[in-house]
Amino acid sequence: MDTAALLSNLERHFELNPASARLLIVGLGATGYSAAQFLQKTPIKFAVIDSRKNPPLIDNLREQMPDVPVFCGGFDQSAFEVATHLLVSPGVSLSESAIHKAMQAGVTVMSDIDVFACATDKPVIAITGSNGKSTVTTMLGEMGNAADIKTAIGGNLGTPALDLLQQDAELYVLELSSFQLERTTVLNAAAATVLNVSPDHLDRHDGMAGYAAEKQRVFRGDGVMVLNADDAMVMAMQDASRQTLSFSTQTQADFYLQRGEVNYLMQGEQVLMAASKLRLEGTHNIANALAALALGTAVGLKTTAMCDALRKFKGLPHRMQKVAEKAGVNWVNDSKATNIGACIAALQGYDRKVILIAGGDAKGADMAELVPVAIEKTKAVVVMGKDAQLIADALQNCVPIKFADNMKEAVKAAASLASPGDSVLLSPACASLDQYRSYVDRGNKFAEAVAELPSC
């Protein structure tokens, strides 16, 4: 799509006319920097603001865009008063005082996803949910390319959405967080899904109802809705006037798991592939595969190509990743499990009890939700991080608990509890930023600590 078409779409949807608009990019992380790079190629006048004194990409911005006004070290109200439009990065809460005042004054709030939607006419698959987003997004990228469709993936995963436009793809697959969706209004995906809804980011959203409502925004438009038949909150989003496809590991749906002597992934009466051909552990990953198949079918990808891609798919780092076997004990890194739902899904994938390492920043979640699955699936739990006591209090008298101050101590504690044939699972059910730079850093520290254990 050319610049003229982009500008026409922005004016139609957001009354953004380059002659009069003054756009303020709020937040200079990966998303804000991506937006600045994209807008620099247009006649739209913009500035950038960040509450941090030295945001990580400030030097890059000043070097490459020396004429762009930049405000750092706080949200200067005067910068917001000049703006006609705000492009707010997902890491910045819309409840920030300066943003809230600007919205009350009639300033238009938008997102990089909105600009992306205005900049392309190629089909988009949009994926959200509490858990499994990155896995399904990556699966679809590989499915599309296996079907000889040039496919680009990104959004909340890896590459910012606007950077994907440089790839001149035939199909875009976007992973979208609740933070991205709450400020996105014009995306009309050819196919979209909410994979599941479980407690997450309740510190930023108005409880579970508010969180689910933000997730539901992925279905705006008229594309195919792909629904998880095993999740009541997702099924409540169904729109009878829209084309829908469903997936399930528990009951018959459009795409489902047929259980028997051999378990099969099915589409109606058609056998797609044996579940054992997937290289991923856990029933939740079978659900991810079924969701990917439904989404790919919705945009016309060939079934044979999709199944070939699934057979080859090895999963993503820090998501149920086996890092070692030491003294007969399997050590599994699921550091990406930053909420209770992800931890529960990981535990439910095991047939025998595991030793769980959990903890970090619970983000306001109720850890009592872990109790039933912990009783059924854990031999013991090692807790660490900011909300270790919160988890311990929830699980008291249910399973043995050990405390650790850091990952090395947690791994040593888990090793002392494990016997040959056991699995130790790092699936924190919490965010990582209380002790680590990211879930990736946390997972790497886990792998390093495991590597230091004796082999026998």
- 360: region left, alpha or beta (phi > 0 left; psi from -120 to 50 alpha): left
133 tagged catalytic? yes
| 70: DSSP letter | E
Residue of 9, 85, 133, 339 marked catalytic: 133
Cβ distance 336 to 330 under 8 Å?
no
CB 164 within 8 A of CB 137: no
Q: How many CB atoms lie within 10 A of CB 393?
A: 13
Q: Which is the catalytic residue, given 201, 284, 318, 402? A: 201
Q: Which helix (H) or strand (E) holds 247?
A: strand 244-248
If one counts every other C-beta atom within 10 angstroms of the C-beta of residue 270, the result is: 10
Nearest CA to 156 among 94, 90, 88? 90
Nearest Cα neighbor of 169 from 149, 187, 189 is 149
DSSP state of 451: H
How far is the C-alpha of 385 from the C-alpha of 27, rounded, in Å?
Answer: 28
d(CA 36, CA 51) in angstroms, rounded, equals 17
**Helix runs in 84-204, H state only:** 97-104, 112-119, 133-146, 161-164, 178-181
Point out the catalytic residue in the list 131, 156, 196, 288: 156
DSSP code of 242? S
What is the token pair recorded at 182? 């709450």
Helix (H, G, I), strand (E, B) or coil at 347: helix
The number of CA neighbours under 13 Å toward the Cβ of 200 is 27
78 CB-contact burial (10 Å; exposed 0-12 / middle 13-18 / buried 19+): exposed
Closest alpha carbon to 228 in 258, 251, 259: 251
Q: Who's near 207: CB < 8 A, 6+ residues apart?
A: none
Active site residue 318: no
CA-to-CA dists, residue 196 to 177, 273, 288, 360, angstroms: 12, 23, 10, 22
Do the beta carbons of residue 141 and residue 171 sit within 8 Å?
Answer: no
CA-based nearest residue to 41, from 155, 165, 161, 157: 165
Structure tokens at 149: 């469709």
Q: What tokens appear for 336 in the block?
A: 């990406």
201 catalytic? Reply is yes
Catalytic residues: 133, 156, 201
